Structure 1
Amino acid sequence: MKKFLLFLAGLAALIVLVANLGPMVFLGLGIWLLYIIFKQFMKSDSTIGKIGWVILGLIVLSITISNMFALIGVVAAIGLYFIYKSWKKEDHEPIVHEVQSDDPFTNFEREWAEINHH
């Protein structure tokens, strides 16, 4: 049942990720362009050049902010990663829990489980 629920959650996360793939690309592109514009703004010596870079930066910032819902896709990708890790994790629970006791029957059960397990 756990694997089935993980599969359903993974499928939902994959659908959300694919649906937001385009906006995620534009968000990354916008952040990269803002970085380039900031570097050019810092290099510019003239006031007119700085004003031009600020105006261009504001235009690119408005386009980038319009793609902020792409963060849902990023969260879906992170969720998909954790679902994948959880899916691959194997359950290693001991067959018989080890109890520190001097009871001969408890020790016999533990030894018998170890013999049958190997």
Structure 2
Amino acid sequence: MKKFMLFIIGLIALFVLLANLGPMVLLGVSVWLLYVVFKQFIKSDSTAGKIGWVIAGLLILSIAVANGYAVIGLAAAYVLYVIYKKWQEDKLEEDVSFSAKQDDPFTNFEKQWAEMKNY
């Protein structure tokens, strides 16, 4: 039941992430453009140039604020990450409990040999 709930929550988070993928891309681009505008503002020597860069920065900032839904997408991505880690943790616990049940030395030898070959 625990894995089923993790799967359902992960599926919902995946759909939320996919739905907010566009705003996430636009937010990333607008933050990058704000950085570029700031660097150009610092380099500018004339007052008219600085005013122009401030106006461009305000326009880009309004685009960034309009894509505030991207934060929901970032939260969904984090939820997917946490679910993945939890799923791997549960899988590791199952592997440990399964290998502890096997007392056959040859089975453990084969498993360890396979692990050594992967390195």
- TM-score, length-scaled by structure 2: 0.77
Q: Equivalent residue for 1:17?
A: 17
- Residue 68 of structure 1 aligns to a residue whose secondary structure is coil
Q: Equivalent residue for 2:37?
A: 37
Aligned ranges 1:17-96 → 2 under 5 Å:
17-89=17-89, 90-91=92-93
For 2:102 and 2:59, the matched residues in 1 are separated by 67
Q: Equivalent residue for 1:6?
A: 6
Please, which moves more after superposition, 43-52 or 82-91? 82-91
For 1:23 and 1:69, the matched residues in 2 are separated by 6
Over the residues paired in the alignment, what is the CA RMSD in angstroms? 1.8
Moved over 6 A (4+): none
Q: Which runs of 5+ in 2 are unaligned?
A: 104-119
- Residue 45 of structure 1 aligns to a residue whose secondary structure is coil
- Residue 16 of structure 2 aligns to a residue whose secondary structure is helix
Tell me the number of residue pairs that the alignment of Structure 1 and Structure 2 aligns.
Answer: 99
For 2:9 and 2:84, the matched residues in 1 are separated by 10
Give deviations 1:23-61, integer Å, cap 9, x for gaps: 000000000000000000000000000000000000000
For the pair shown, the structure with the greater C-alpha radius of gyration is 1
2:18 partner amino acid: V
Higher helix share: 2
- Residue 54 of structure 1 aligns to a residue whose secondary structure is helix
For 2:39 and 2:102, the matched residues in 1 are separated by 64
For 2:49 and 2:61, the matched residues in 1 are separated by 18
For 1:23 and 1:13, the matched residues in 2 are separated by 16
For 2:12 and 2:47, the matched residues in 1 are separated by 51
For 2:83 and 2:37, the matched residues in 1 are separated by 38
